[in-house]
Chain A
């Protein structure tokens, strides 16, 4: 029981420390759980991270559930996952109610105006990152530009056109992308 409580508190701490999303969990988890005499070997941790990234759902939730289960079974997975999102519930909830309350205030209007510009820039940035991750066969570098995967490029272009021009629902675009990927990518790369 103490074990489960400690797991919950540990993941609460991770939830408070990971700025900028689930990938920030990896160094935090490594320090806490990976190594000699600890819960996971580096190899098993590597597998756990790649399964968490390949499985649908937020990477942070996947990783927390997995680590919690390995640590103490079902109660552990529940404690780790709830611990991870508990600080978010309080912090993001409080931040949003603050924004709603002072929305019409002059200072808040300036803040939101700037925040939206920053957010737009980060969305453009996300597009570039996703292009690098999904279209290229290796990380981008000016010195050695990696090859483009033709199958992935075809899927990206068709999903853009299906959503923008033909007003498809995102659900169907994502499912079609998965089917096309299974058919095309093992064959043409």
Chain B
């Protein structure tokens, strides 16, 4: 248990200290640690977390830390992960605020390094999105639904609203499929298309 709490604290501290840009930028590191290496989350549960972080108010990093911590080790896990997500930023900003209260950053190498990290994170997210796409977009319905939702996001529709619409559409689709499965079983036909 203590080991899990430490893993949560340490992983979220690492994410907060390394990842620039906030929000979904941390997804690749979360996937690497909790899905691929430690097998504490499945890829589907990772998507549940993404959906949750976009619908519940609050900053995305904190939402992700709390929900993953809760899933893996209960309330203590949520606290450990949240503390990890907050700790490095808190210390770094405190140092900057104490040392350079009025400073605006303008060193070209410093700015270059940050631009480089943002570009690198773009590649990492693209790799994660690739994998998520392969696992999620299994049929025609999924592809069309995801394309429509993506178009809505590109038109500036609020992400929380997109998740809510997706939940409504997904629930109705599952209900229709379940009905079809029932009818097929009654008539003793072949295996219907799986949902």
Interface residues, chain A, with chain B CB atoms under 8 Å away: 15-23, 25, 44, 47, 50-62, 65-66, 69-70, 74, 77-78, 81, 84-85, 87-89, 91-93, 95-97, 99-100, 106-107, 109-128, 130-131, 133-135, 149, 151-153, 155-164, 169-171, 173-186
Contacts and interface: CB of A to CB of B under 8 A. Distances in A.
Nearest to B105: A54
A77 B101 CA distance: 14
Nearest to B131: A164
- CB-based closest 9 A-B pairs: A181-B116, A114-B170, A177-B120, A118-B166, A57-B89, A159-B123, A60-B59, A88-B58, A121-B149
Contacts, number: 405
B112 A181 contact: yes
B59 A18 contact: yes
Contact of B113 (A89, A113, A179): A179
The dominant DSSP class at the B interface is helix
B120 A56 contact: no
B92 interface: yes
A88 B67 CA distance: 9
Contact of B170 (A92, A110, A151, A175): A110
Interface residues of B, number: 109
The dominant DSSP class at the A interface is helix
Interface string B92-127: 111011100111110011111111111111111111
Interface in B116-172: 116-130, 132-133, 136-137, 142, 145-147, 149-150, 153-154, 158-160, 162-163, 165-172
B185 interface: no
6 contacts: A50-B105, A65-B97, A66-B96, A120-B137, A178-B113, A181-B113
